[in-house]
Chain A
Amino acid sequence: MTSRTVAFGTGVYNGGATTVTGTTMVAGTAATEFGRVTEVVGFLLIGTLGFVGVLGSGGSTDGGVTRTRECLLIDPKEHPMLLAEPSSNTQQQRERAAELMFEKYMVPALFLAKNAVLTSFASGRATSLVVDSGGGSTTVAPVHDGYVLQKAVLSSPIGGDFLADCLTKSLESKGITIKPRYAFKRKEIRAGEFQTVDVDFPNTTESYKLYSQRVIASDIKECVCRAPDTPYDESAYSNIPMTPYELPDGQTIEIGADRFKTPDVLFNPSLVQTIPGMECFAETAASVRGLPQMVIESINKCDVDIRRELFSSILLAGGTASMQQLKERLEKDLLEESPQAARVKVLASGNATERRFSVWIGGSILASLGSFQQMWFSKSESSVCSTLTFARVAEAV
């Protein structure tokens, strides 16, 4: 379970009326501890004015908050909480989250914000098209005037994890197996030289094994993979030079065409069929569209008046979006398919960390605003209102 603690600086604004302090804790997509978490979970404590967390599916939030409490040593009773939820969250899940927060953790106030809106705020825009490609999935959501247009939200199951799996299978077909970190030990026989000894843990669960392999494969993907400039073509990439990569067990592998093939799955999901071992996903992949097509489709589902504005402010967010050359490739593909009259501009913050945590950053910005303080949904309001009203209020943003 990877977790990083980053200290966030203090800021003073509005003549000193509010101070923003906080620590962030990030929990990775953990297959073991939190059950099936599909979203990156991040928590921010904002100077006891607010608390931002990202909802996963169901039970994960519970574990997430508990863990945060342990790490940050805070008492939820004192802090209003801002939760970021997926753009296509159902009413039920929202209610459950609110219930959990109020009943179990007894937060004084709560607000549920959508991921896409927070990403949009992080880049200072009220209207934009957010392309969020994280570990589990890729979501394209248009935001207009601070609200997500839900009928135009599209998502595809191809995310960072899927790409890591593709890479793993591709390497396996070439005879390279990725050994999970727990499965071997490196002993120093002589000075500077190591020998790997296989350690056997017969009772490890499949999911943990998969998770550990994914960690390594993700690292390979982040280091080595690049989005190709043109759609992937077997013949064109057959002769490219191989890049070496050293696995944790000392093995050095050479990666050639897979460097470009794997990221191209984002743009062309049918490529999955050419990867041996991934045939089980072939049917799902056939129904899934590539990223540029999703963007165009999402924009076309919106009202005509805002299409131009959406085209000119397409935001990239998420871990997978920090892949090299992804922004350029997406821009190029969109220029081909977009209308003549619209100016296409894809924006992404230069910093990879910022891209990854743009939701969190947006949440931090939102919760520190003076005019946001009237929008908290307090416990008293929740007890007074009926579920329907709560639902409406809570999904305000």
Chain B
Amino acid sequence: MDAKDILGLPKTAIPIPQEKKSRSQKDSQRKPDGISREVYALTGGMPPLMPTIDSSQLKKRPPVDEKITWQWLPFTNSARKDNLQLYHWVRVVNGVPPTGDYSFAKYNKSIDIVQYTDEEYAKHLADPSWTKEETDRLFELCKQFDLRFIVIADRFPSSRTVEELKNRYYSVSRSILMARATSPGDVTGNPLVKETYNVSQEKERKRALSMVLSQTKQQERKDAEILADAKRISESRVAARGAEESELPVASSAGHDNADRADVPGDTVSPSLNVQLPSAAVAPSTLMADNAATIASLRMLRVYLRTYALDQMIQAASSSAGLRTIKRVEQTLQDLGVNLKPRVPTKAVCAEHLELRKEILTLLNLQKQLQYKEAEGSSFRDHPYETPGTPKDRMFVPDSMSFGGERVGKRDQKRKAPGRISEAPSSPAQSKRPRKLKASDL
């Protein structure tokens, strides 16, 4: 190829007819007259099924017989009241300037404002808070500014609010219309008569809107921080106090939801309430605390399964016990013939199940304690003089306590099973803690 080029020889004959063929093919598909090739390509390049562009329109050359000139001519504008003559460039065809009004005159529209006479004012429109001059001025401004009340309020000589101006305008218009109507039926269709302007509603709406808009971002952030703090405090109060629900306080001026505005602003109220009660209350048991905490956490969920709740409570209750103890509890349950998970988890059944578990746990703990004490006791009996002074003293006091507790425990054990179980929660619940403490001390 290159060699042929260098030598100047013509290229092979075969491609040439091919090129000619392709060229002629393209020619048949060529753009229609009137538009350039690129523009035609934009439409897809192929002739469309339906003629979308009328190619005759595209490059319409003006008819040759017409002579177009541009002239600087005066024009009158029918929208003007005076006879000011301004000039502009005009397309003149064949020396005949175009006739007719200025093409923009038709855009001069204005609103029909009622015009009242003085007698009408005296008869229908007198108002204690509005003088005639003010009302006249208001109507003038309404005409001038086409009922743009915000601008009218801005230009009004005395400082009236937008709502007052609107109210006056609409009430005056309404009274005039109704007074002029030959019969009431004529004007009931008129929107001015049909709907009255509600001043108080507008005022309320604007007040609410201004409140929404006056919350700056810094304030929002502070509000969010306060809310988080309040939440933390209220949750700790819930845990301390017991199962009282504290409603999440929502800022009364929160964003766009109308519902939020209806919520009680509990921000400052509930923490103060929470502060007072725990100070009076006695330090409650940890069991109750656990229960309350789980209840609080469950109440965070809107919907939950009772079995899920039960599991949570069981977990909470047995959190203090080890894995082995839990297994022993379950073993005991099975021995008693109770299912590990209640088959019909109604509220009463779950509550009873939970109670049962707790009692079994208590029982097992007591048994363990008993064993420890018996072991101690036996070792003490076997070796009475071995232990040195201070520990003996220490041991002595808890021993007497434990003996007492033991006796109680023994007595409890001697009693029948149901009675024991039923009594178990109250006393061991309270004595369990001191005993447990002492056991760990030792």
Residues of A with Cβ closer than 8 Å to B? 14-19, 47-49, 80, 108-109, 144-145, 147, 149-152, 302-308, 335-342, 370-371, 373-374, 376, 378, 380-381, 392, 396
Could you say which of B88, B144, B220 contacts A340, with CB atoms under 8 Å apart? B220
CA A49 – CA B84 in complex, angstroms? 12
Known: A341-B255, A342-B213. Contact between A374 and B80, CB under 8 A?
yes
A79 CB to nearest B CB, Å: 9
CA A145 – CA B155 in complex, angstroms? 14
Could you say which of B79, B84, B145, B216 contacts A378, with CB atoms under 8 Å apart? B84
Answer whether residue B287 sits at the interface, using C-beta atoms and an 8 A cutoff: no
Query: Which residues of B, 75-103, contact A by the 8 Å Cβ criterion?
Result: 77, 79-84, 86-91, 102-103
B86–A109 touching, CB < 8 Å: yes
Interface size on B, residues (CB 8 A): 43
Could you say which of B81, B86, B212, B218 contacts A49, with CB atoms under 8 Å apart? B86
Once A and B bind, how many residue pairs between them come within 8 Å at the CB atom? Answer: 117
Q: A47-B89, A108-B84 are in contact. List 6 more A-B contacts (CB 8 A).
A: A14-B103, A144-B151, A337-B216, A371-B104, A374-B80, A376-B86
Which residue in chain B gives the minimum CB-CB distance to A18?
B88
A15–B108 touching, CB < 8 Å: no
Contacts of A308 in B (CB 8 A): 213
Known: A304-B213, A341-B215. Contact between A149 and B150, CB under 8 A?
yes
Contact with A along B350-363 (1 / 0, CB 8 A): 00000000000000
Contacts of A49 in B (CB 8 A): 86-88
A336–B87 touching, CB < 8 Å: no
A-B contact pairs, 10 of them (CB 8 A): A16-B89, A16-B90, A48-B87, A80-B86, A144-B150, A144-B151, A147-B154, A339-B217, A371-B107, A373-B86
Query: Which residues of B, 141-179, contact A by the 8 Å Cβ criterion?
Result: 144-145, 148, 150-151, 153-155, 162
CA A305 – CA B205 in complex, angstroms? 10
Contact with A along B408-438 (1 / 0, CB 8 A): 0000000000000000000000000000000
CA A49 – CA B216 in complex, angstroms? 48
Residues of B with Cβ closer than 8 Å to A? 70, 72, 77, 79-84, 86-91, 102-105, 107-108, 144-145, 148, 150-151, 153-155, 162, 206, 209-210, 212-218, 220, 255-256
B108–A374 touching, CB < 8 Å: yes
| Secondary structure of the B contact surface, majority rule | mixed
Which residue in chain A gives the minimum CB-CB distance to B217?
A340
Contacts of A14 in B (CB 8 A): 103
CA A47 – CA B72 in complex, angstroms? 10
A341–B256 touching, CB < 8 Å: yes
B215–A19 touching, CB < 8 Å: no
CA A16 – CA B214 in complex, angstroms? 51
Contacts of B220 in A (CB 8 A): 340
A295 CB to nearest B CB, Å: 13
B108–A371 touching, CB < 8 Å: yes
Could you say which of A16, A151, A373 contacts B77, with CB atoms under 8 Å apart? A373
Contacts of B104 in A (CB 8 A): 370-371, 373-374
A288 CB to nearest B CB, Å: 22
B258 CB to nearest A CB, Å: 14
Closest 5 CB pairs of A and B: A370-B104, A374-B79, A378-B84, A147-B151, A149-B154
B154–A150 touching, CB < 8 Å: yes
A339–B84 touching, CB < 8 Å: no
Contacts of A341 in B (CB 8 A): 212-213, 215, 255-256
CA A49 – CA B144 in complex, angstroms? 25
B55 CB to nearest A CB, Å: 23
Could you say which of B148, B153, B213 contacts A145, with CB atoms under 8 Å apart? B148
